[in-house]
Structure 1
């Protein structure tokens, strides 16, 4: 049985099922192992873990702890409550915006690659190009945030470093817009998102793209990237304080367990707190050479769980309302037995998005795609209901086939 326990009751002889922290926050070569020594205990505490999951069938039990199913049920109930808030206002449909968004996404991808290559070679970063791309992303999100948000969830793992920066920029612009930030702050947040990982140019590729767990020495090199990025960007005359702050401190955590300066929450700016939420969400939901990304819905659950200690809970809730409990590009199961791709959030109800049904679980086969607005009654393109999230891998479904227009 899998149970969740506070770190204070963890002891030698228990079997760790999940350390319940992002992969970059722990130095263990394996995710699952028996706690054998006091050194193991101290390492787990030092990783910033506050609560861990144990497997009572493979190690010692702790009687007064909820099971993983009880924890998930509680989290999902809380998330549904938070998601009851109105969705963002939409100016055009995601279908209308998708072709433009696809061009903008490719432009941003190419720009990040160029910026990182220039930074590695010591060349100047052209801020006018960065600002142009951020403006294009912002304009697309103002028309319909679902198009670029959907594209952000689809990544080639070999291009992860570049595409992650595009996604963080997109999510930061969407997040700040949803919280009604002034236009200039939205722009600065977007620039910060696009450039936040510039310091990874100074991390050797054999560490950056290592397929297995990093050694402690390699961890230290990887964790140098915020400071290295800050050094690079500090030489750019026209860059603002906000992108510099986001670059330097996006790995800090509210409980002071982050890096490079172990800042407590009150010393981390709000925009940087937002960037840390966005950065982790995109990282844990993306496929990389060393780990399989979790579905967006699971990523939101992890953020919610970790917000108890590592993130600002109010900002995590605001982020959930921004992306929706069923994020664009995620796969859901309908009451009818069909599987559907989420296309767009609905104004007024984040629990009833617009979806495209593509697969029958009863017949175990693809069906002619049909768009459904779950907020509408039967006869008006609605009349079905989401019963849960599904993994595309489980059904062998390539989401991009149904989300991205050809060409």
Structure 2
């Protein structure tokens, strides 16, 4: 049985099932292992990990600890309550109408980030006048229909992950800023910070950046230098503002002081750096990498909510959920009718009843003609269909992303 315990309850002989943090926050080669020494326990605590999941079938038990299912059920209910308080989503054009423009913007932005990284490796300066128009295009797409570009950013080529991750963070951060009412200039500066936040990774050797496995302690230290390296690079860029510098340097800080490079904590971290940290982790843990499979977006949001007890600002995590919905665009969902579908677009003021493209019957285990339905509207005399659960695409052998491009 999988249970959640406080790190202070750890004992030699327990089997770690999950360290309950994003992969860049812990220094262990493995995610799952049996504790063999007090040194390992101390290493977990020193890494800023406050709670873990243990497998009681493979190690010592804690009798009164909650099960993983109990924890996830409570978090899911909390998520539903959070998004029920969301303001209406402003959609100026349909996702279908924005889709083509969004594809062009995604490709343009990824190409730009690739060129920026190449220039940095060659010792060339970043040309801010080339970056700013791309951020403007992303912002305008978000204003027309945020779901179109956000949905497309779920589709990443593993080889281009570093570039596409930067575009994703920019896109999500711009949408996040708009949803919490930040003004145009703040949003523009945040977008620049999102697009350039990983510039320092240009100085990380490719064999470390793309290593198909856990990093050694030495490799981990090299990766952890990228915020400061990126900050130093941006300092040499004429016209760069304080916000992009702050986001680049501090997007790995955590509110409990366990982050890096400066171990800032609480109010010592700016709001925009806290927001960047949330979207950075969200995009990282939902993406397929050479060393781990990305988790479904809804699971990632639930993890962010769980980690907000220590690592993230709770009110900002809740605001991010209200921004993207607990079933973000691209999420595979199971409906009450037994049909499977992909979330295509959020609905104004109803984030638990989005527009969904159905394409598969779980009852007959067969594909059905694709059809887009609006879950916020009544569906015949039997009442509207509704989402029963989000599903892991791997379980069904389905790639929901292909429906976002058709």
TM-score category of the 2 structures, normalised to the smaller one: over 0.9
Q: 1 CA distance for matches of 2:88 and 2:34?
A: 44
SS at match of 2:96: helix
- Superposition deviation, residue 35 in structure 1: 1.0
CA contact (8 A) 1:20 1:51 kept: yes
Aligned residue for 1:58? Answer: 58
Q: 2 CA distance for matches of 1:322 and 1:396?
A: 29
- Superposition deviation, residue 266 in structure 1: 1.3
Q: 2 CA distance for matches of 1:404 and 1:168?
A: 20
- Superposition deviation, residue 379 in structure 1: 4.7
RMSD (CA atoms): 1.2
SS at match of 2:290: coil
Q: How does 1:259-274 map to 2 (within 5 A)?
A: 259-274=260-275
Q: 1 CA distance for matches of 2:140 and 2:167?
A: 15
Aligned residue for 1:299? Answer: 300
- Superposition deviation, residue 263 in structure 1: 0.7
Output one character per residue of 1:111-137: Cα deviation in whole Å (capped at 9) or x when no partner: 000011111111121111110000000
Q: How does 1:7-406 map to 2 (within 5 A)?
A: 7-84=7-84, 85-379=86-380, 383-405=384-406
- Superposition deviation, residue 59 in structure 1: 0.9
CA contact (8 A) 2:230 2:249 kept: yes
Q: Which moved more, 1:36-45 or 1:382-391?
A: 382-391
Q: 2 CA distance for matches of 1:162 and 1:80?
A: 33
Q: 2 CA distance for matches of 1:52 and 1:353?
A: 33
- Superposition deviation, residue 9 in structure 1: 1.0
Q: 2 CA distance for matches of 1:378 and 1:37?
A: 59
Q: 2 CA distance for matches of 1:194 and 1:166?
A: 6
Q: Structure 2: which 5+ residue stretches go unaligned?
A: none
Q: 1 CA distance for matches of 2:50 and 2:20?
A: 8
- Deviating above 4 A after TM superposition, structure 1's stretches of 4 or more consecutive aligned residues are none
Output one character per residue of 1:338-365: Cα deviation in whole Å (capped at 9) or x when no partner: 1100011111110100110011111212
- Superposition deviation, residue 88 in structure 1: 1.5
Q: Which moved more, 1:65-74 or 1:357-366?
A: 357-366
Output one character per residue of 1:230-279: Cα deviation in whole Å (capped at 9) or x when no partner: 01111001110000000000000000000001111211000000000000
- Superposition deviation, residue 70 in structure 1: 0.4
Q: 2 CA distance for matches of 1:188 and 1:315?
A: 18
SS at match of 1:42: helix
Give me the TM-score of the superposition, normalised by structure 1: 0.98
Q: Which moved more, 1:274-283 or 1:77-86?
A: 77-86
Give me the TM-score of the superposition, normalised by structure 2: 0.98
Q: 2 CA distance for matches of 1:328 and 1:161?
A: 22
CA contact (8 A) 2:128 2:238 kept: no
- Superposition deviation, residue 281 in structure 1: 0.3
The size of the alignment, in residue pairs, is: 405
Q: 2 CA distance for matches of 1:113 and 1:104?
A: 14
